[in-house]
Structure formats: structure tokens, C-alpha cells
Chain A
Amino acid sequence: MDIQQILFIVLSAIAIGCALGVVFSRNPINSVLFLILTFFAISGHYILLNAQFLAVVNIIVYAGAIMVLFLFVIMLMNLNSDTEPQKNWLVQLAGAISGGILFLVLLSALVSATKTLPVMEQGSNDLGLIKNLGKTLFRDYVLPFEISSVLFLSAMIGAIVIGKKEDKFEDVH
């Protein structure tokens, strides 16, 4: 067993344990903290696959920015385990069934994927380094890349339009 395998097992254990913690903790703040830990473990996996850029961007964007906003909302709403609304058993049953079906779909996808996908070569390639990634993004995939950035921009503008106060509109009339 070499060090990569040990790291893989440790990281996987952390990722799965924290992901379960997200689902099972009663306090939403704890859920968010577990989710942040999960992101860190997944970033560790990216580093094992030599995708350093992806790992760091995962931390900056997800753990650093998006989860801060999550935490923001939960702190301001002051959600606690005792304020959590009690759902009736029908909703719980429906949730369990749909979740189970999703799990089956993912499981079958995973089982078929292991047969077809080639085994990822570890440690030797520099595929995930920022230079190669940049070249791939800005040469081979430049159009989808730019289109997705325009999509983000339009989403941002949409959020600003929705969030804007109406009273300024009346001044025009």
C-alpha cells in the first residue's frame, strides 16, 4: 500500500463521513460546516488526481465564497433544531422513495461506469496544471467557455434587476 492509496482511503472516509454529517445533523450550522469539510476532502481528491488548479478553485469558490453566503443566510434566519418544522409522514415517505430511486440511478451509473471508463493514471501526468487547462479552455473550448460566462453575467444582471427597489421606477413617471 503506497502513500497515495492511504491518502485516498483517508480522504474518502472524511468525505463520506462529513457528507453523512451534513444529512444527519439537526443544526443547520453544523450541516454547513460538515459540507465545508466535504469540499476540503474532495479538493484533496483533486490533488491526488493532479488537478491542483481545480482543487484550489474548489476551495476558493465553494468553501470560501458560496458556503460563506450559506452561513450568512442561516445565521440571519437564526434556524435552530427546535424551529425546524415537523413534516408529516406522507412527505417523509415521498422523500425516502424519491431519494432511494435517485440512489439506485446513481449506483447503476457507477457500476456501468467502472466497466467502461479507462483507469485514471495517477501521479505521472500534468493534465490538471493551470497552463494545460488554460490552453484547453481557450483553444478547444473557447466558445462554450465564453457562452457560459455570458450566462453567468445574465444571471447576475437578473439578480440585480429583481433585487432593485421599485420606488425609483415611480420617479420617472
Chain B
Amino acid sequence: MLLLQIDWSFLLEKSVLILVIVLVSFGVAAYATWGERKVAAIMQDRLGPNRAGFMGLLQPLADGGKLFFKEEIIPEGSTRTIFILGPFLFMVTALMTSAVIPWGPDIHTAAGNVISLQVADINIGILFVFGVVSVGVYGIMLGGWASNNKFSLLSSIRSASQSISYELAMGLSLIALLMMSGSLSMREIAQQQHGFWDGHWLTWNVFKQPLGFFIFMVCAFAELNRAPFDLPECESELNMGYHQEYSSMKLGLYLFAEYINMFISSAVMVTLFWGSYNFPGMDWVAAHTNAIVFALICVIVLMAKITAFILFFMFIRWTLPRFRYDQLMNLGWKGLIPLALFNMVITGAAILWLFNK
């Protein structure tokens, strides 16, 4: 049947890639929960989970199993469809950003085929990330509202206003980066950071845009609702926050999606600022190994950087106290946005007068 002309091998390749990325995201998120508890334990001089398996390594499985077998409760006064929709929406938006992240360099096989380790190389990759992030807030908002609980509602409103406020500074901090890269495609930005030293200056964007990276990172913390910006889950004021009324696997999806968000946003930060899959001396490695081994090394390097970021997220969580709500808004609107604008002006001036592009 020639009704639709679809390149089936292309479709198969991308499907496999998507499946692998989703499974890896789940795996990383599961072990991030274990890692978080271990990090917390170390920082508080405790042992942490150590009963299930060696060093408690089976703990995520035990937690998942527990959540699966819990009773599903949908509150009487809730709006049923939206209540169910909330966690799914949150999970889907958490996973969607992974589509534009280049997970490794292209593999040129001996047969002449090129296998790309990126699901979709769209020329507006960064804007796609922003689009998904801005839609991601619906999962929390709808879940919180549909629970018909005042704590949940307050929490979801806090979360939404926080996201909207910090999205602005996040976008502005990236404009300076985009002025230098001249491209919105994640893949091109990754390729521009090739190696480590280009003869004049370090190639990774963080060394060209340190202030931009700092602003972006603070905003990422706020977007993720992570400490020190975890006001939507502030126990002392709001009990559990927006997932107060959720139980069983719906609660599991909310908790889990948070860790997936952390993984993906670490990947975005690494791709944009910390050199993506590039590492010092990669040309030498590429010349001395075959394409598949080289790509594998690149993926491992990327994963190592992402892991470092996730650990950093955890250290921050167990070190800094939570912001107050007015402090949060002041920091976003009066601190980060002017700083990002200033960074933009400086970058523009530098490009115009110093590099004269």
C-alpha cells in the first residue's frame, strides 16, 4: 500500500532511540531518589537506606513496588478527569524535552549511514525546550486545583507564579548565549563547543558566559521547584503541597517526574554551557578508535557531567535553607532579570567592539 510514503528504517531508528532515552531517564531518576537519600544521609551523618540489597541499591525498586500496591484514592470533591490528567501531564512534559538534546555525536558507520544520537534536530531546539517548560506547569496547576484542597491550590498557584517569573530571567540569560552561538539548534551549539581549547580561549560556553550560566542555573532550580526554591512543597506551611491528595502511582508519577525533570534540565545545562559531550583531547580519541567506541565514550562523558550536576542539585538541597516567598519574587524580578539584561548588553558590546563579528 503506497498511501503514505514513510521511511520505515528512519522511523525504527528513532523509535529505538526514544525508547532507550525514556528507559535511561527512568533508570537515572530511580537511582537519583536513592542518591538523594544517600547524599542527605552523608550530609547529616547518617547511614541512609542500607537494607534492600547492597548499600540499599534495591531501594528504588522497593519504593516503586510499594507505590504500585498502595490503594488508589480519588477524593470525593475532586474533579475526576483533571485529577487523573495532572500527574500524566507532568510526566509527559518532563520527558518531552529529551527529544531535542543531542546525546552524542553522529555515528558514521562503515556502510556510509549516519546514525544521529538526537531524536529531532529542529532548528529552534532551545525554544522548544522553553515551550515544554512553560507547558509543564499545567501538570502541577491542574493537579493542585482538581484535588479540591486549599493547601494544594495554594501550592499550585505558588508553583505557577514562580515558574512564570523565573522563565523570563531564564530566557533573557540565554539570549546572550544565542548572540554568541548564532543558532538555536542544540546540536549546533553542542558542536561549537568541540574539544576544550580552540587556540584562543576555552570552547565551552560556561567560560564565555559565566554570568549567563549562573542566572540560568538559579532559574533552573526555581523551575524545578527544588530547594532552596521548593516553596510549592513547603511542609511547614502547606503540608505536602500540590500532591497532598494523591496516592499510589499518581503520587509516584509526581515524585518521579521531579527527578526526571532534574535529569533533563541537567542535560540541558550541560549541553548549552558545559560542552555537551565534548571533552579535552577528543580529536585524539576519535583518531585512535572506531566511530562507535568514540560515540560511546562521548555519551559516557555526557552522562558523567549530568551526574555531577545532579549531585550538585542534591548538595544544594541539603545545604541551603528555603527562601521566603517575597524573597523569591524579589530575587527573580529585581535581581536576576536586571542582571540578565546587563549580561545581554555586555555581551552585545563585546561582540560589536572586541570581536567585530
Chain A contacts to B: CB under 8 angstroms: 1-3, 6, 27, 29, 33, 36, 52-53, 56-57, 59-60, 63-65, 68-69, 71-72, 75-76, 129-130
A29-B82, A53-B127, A65-B134 given. 19 additional CB < 8 A pairs?
A3-B5, A3-B6, A52-B122, A56-B124, A56-B128, A56-B130, A57-B127, A59-B131, A59-B134, A60-B127, A60-B131, A63-B131, A63-B134, A64-B131, A64-B134, A65-B167, A72-B157, A75-B145, A130-B124
Q: What are some 9 contacts across the A-B interface (CB < 8 A)?
A: A53-B124, A56-B128, A56-B130, A60-B130, A63-B134, A65-B167, A68-B137, A71-B145, A75-B156
Closest chain-A Cβ to B192's Cβ sits at a distance in Å of 16
B141 within 8 A of A: yes
Q: Are A52 and B123 in contact (CB under 8 A)?
A: yes
User: In whole angstroms, what is the CA distance A53 to B185 when docked?
Assistant: 12
Question: Are the C-beta atoms of A60 and B157 separated by less than 8 Å?
Answer: no
B185 shortest CB reach to chain A, Å: 10
Is B134 within 8 A of A75, CB to CB?
A: no
Q: Bound state CA distance, A129 and B178, in angstroms?
A: 15
| A residues near B3, Cβ cutoff 8 Å | 1
Contact pick for A65, options B6, B79, B142, B164, CB 8 Å: B164
Q: Is the CB of B145 within 8 A of A36?
A: no
Q: Is the interface of A mostly helix, strand, loop or mixed?
A: helix
Whether A56 and B153, one on each chain, are in contact in the complex, defined by CB atoms closer than 8 angstroms, is no
Q: Which residues of A contact B4 (CB under 8 A)?
A: 2-3, 6
B160 at the interface (CB under 8 A from A): yes
Task: Enumerate chain A residues within 8 angstroms of B123, measured Cβ to Cβ.
Answer: 52, 129-130
Residue of B127, B137, B157 touching A56 (CB-CB under 8 A): B127
- B138 A36 Cβ-Cβ under 8 A: yes
Point out the residues of chain B lying under 8 angstroms from A36, CB to CB.
Answer: 138
Q: State A17–B124 Cα separation when bound (angstroms).
A: 29
Task: List B residues 135-176 near A (Cβ within 8 Å).
Answer: 135, 137-138, 141-142, 145, 153, 156-157, 160-161, 163-164, 167
Contacts of A76 in B (CB 8 A): 157
**Contact indicator B124/A29 (Cβ below 8 Å):** no
A56 and B131 in contact (CB under 8 A), knowing A65-B164, A68-B164, A75-B153?
yes
Whether B141 lies near A71 (C-beta < 8 A) is yes
Q: How far is the CA of A63 from the CA of B4 in the complex (A)?
A: 31
* Contacts A29-B145, A36-B138 given; does A68 touch B79 at CB 8 Å: no
Taking the closest CB of chain B, its distance from the CB of A15, in whole angstroms, is: 17
Q: Which residue of chain A lies nearest to B135 when distances are taken between CB atoms in the complex?
A: A64
Contacts of A57 in B (CB 8 A): 127
Is B184 on the interface with A (CB-CB < 8 A)?
yes
Separation of A64 and B131 alpha carbons in the complex (Å):
7
Question: In the bound complex, what is the Cα–Cα distance between A70 and B131 (angstroms)?
Answer: 18
- Kindly state the separation between the CA atoms of A75 and B79 in the bound complex, as whole angstroms: 13
The complex places the Cα of A76 from the Cα of B150 at a distance, in Å, of: 10
Enumerate chain A residues within 8 angstroms of B184, measured Cβ to Cβ. 130
The minimal Cβ–Cβ distance linking A83 to chain B, given in whole angstroms, is 15
Q: Could you tell me the distance between the alpha carbons of A173 and B26 in the complex, rounded to whole angstroms?
A: 62
Q: How far is the CA of A57 from the CA of B171 in the complex (A)?
A: 12
CB distance from B253 to the nearest CB of A (A): 19
Asked whether B160 lies within 8 Å of A72 as measured between CB atoms, the reply is yes
Q: In this complex, what residue of A is CB-closest to B161?
A: A72
CB distance from B142 to the nearest CB of A (A): 8
Please name all residues of chain A whose beta carbon is closer than 8 Å to the beta carbon of B161 when the two chains form the complex: 72
Distance of B210 from chain A, by nearest CB (Å) = 26
Q: How far is the CB of A148 from chain B (nearest CB, A)?
A: 19
Contacts of B5 in A (CB 8 A): 2-3
B144: nearest chain-A partner, CB-CB: A75
Write out, one digit per residue, whether chain B residues 69-85 have a CB within 8 A of any chain A CB (1) or not (0): 00000000001001000
The answer to whether A68 touches B141, judged by C-beta atoms less than 8 angstroms apart, is yes
The chain B residue sitting closest to A78, CB to CB, is B153
Determine how close the nearest CB of chain A comes to the CB of B129; give it in whole angstroms: 10
Question: A26 CA to B131 CA in the complex, in Å?
Answer: 29
